[in-house]
Structure 1
Amino acid sequence: MKFKLIMGCLATLSLAVAGTAHAQEDAEREAIAERLKPVGELCLEGEDCGTAAAPASASADSGGAVDGAGIYNNVCMACHESGAAGAPVRGQADAWASRLDKGIETLYDHAINGFQAMPAKGGNPNLSDDEVKAAVNHLVEPVYDGELPQVGGGGASEQAAASGGEGEGGEGEAAAASDIDGEAVYGRVCMACHDTGAAGAPMLGDAEAWAPRLEKGTETLYDHAINGVGAMPPKGGNPNLSDAETKAAVDHMIEAAE
């Protein structure tokens, strides 16, 4: 009788442990899915940017400070909200402690010139140094002890190019993929992951990594790029891209791999 009672208790305990393990696995999967949700928006040349370009930076003529939050949202948040490629997440004090110990000027230098998996200027070479510094200020502000250096106005012309401020509404949507500079789209949106291999992205020009993907056919690659697959969010996390622009960027990557 005692033996049966003991065995019953052990069975109940095993079920409870298994249930807890499954619950933890579900929670982890949900957390990963949340981190991989598409984040950030870029406004590219040729698009009707509307309000997307507004937060980029203040006008140099007005003498206003650069809007670091706007630049962060447009360029940096795709990695620094998800932790892609080991990027420290905004607001996580533990992740930033050792980096902040190096000083804000070192962080500026790393952001401007690139550091390890992070490309220079977050993969957007059109940003001015001041714009990058303003984005860094916004990035570290929640965990920074003290007053951050003030970043003055300027770099508005560079940011206009980065945000597509020169575009006349909606041209990208109407253009065929063959008429779009896929290399330029890649340089503004895709290179942050495909130049570094972040989150398992096949690197530009790595024929071996691309071989099994190319076997699936161009249309499948287009579909994956437009709608997302695995860790890659739809349109590289930039919902403002047209399908044609996304396909042009894919064509550029395919050409480099063949």
Structure 2
Amino acid sequence: MNAAYDAPYDAPARTPRIALVGDRSPHVKSHVRIPLLLDALAEQDGLVLDAYWIRSGDAAEPGAVSGFDAVWLLPGSPYESEEGALAAIRTAREEGVPFLGTCAGFQHALIEYARDVCGLPRAAHAENDPAADTGDLLIAPLACSLVGHEGAVRVTPGSLAESVLGAERSTERYHCNYGPDSRHLDTLEAHGMRFTGVDDDGQVRIAELPGHPFFLATLFQPELAGDGSRPHPIVRALARAAVSRAMSLQTAG
């Protein structure tokens, strides 16, 4: 593990707050896992977070996730409000709030960037807009479903993903039927997004934003790793980023 995400730290004066954005359901396995992971972060790593669940519809309200120390856009699509999911991403991106998007969170992170940064206002998600012109589909049905699939991910040396994972290859778990259409990825890269993880076929599985304190999106679901008793390195890194933000705001204040 990279020292930047394993080093000891001083606890901030207040408990860092994390916004868990998604339409919470007992039928979504990743949602059920979250309380277990938060408990494990506190008990095993001393990373105590004050978590707030925010439904996608509520995330559409101005300032809904402002003031949080981290934002995690969770799986469970289609969201009740695409607008809310995109608003949460935009706030985290523009305000430098540590952000993690997993599965549908990854997909919508690409949509938000395409629309708000790359000048592609019609960039569409096939699940949300099945009638969209195929030329506008940024997120399209996968040729083969990844529901229940595990596969290797190769990460770019020197990337945030590599520093968090501490390796250039890992095996990750998926639960999705949609992924990025490669026709548009060059445009996102030209505007600053980096794709730093691919599967063995070269299909994009991780995206990040250099220059942002912590902005990582994965098509796989790190919250489903193992039995939930040991947080995935990506989940732990998000928690540490939240603590770092709380500490920096404390110092600045």
Task: State the TM-score, normalized to the length of structure 2.
Answer: 0.28
Structure with max Cα Rg? 1
Greater percentage in helix: 1
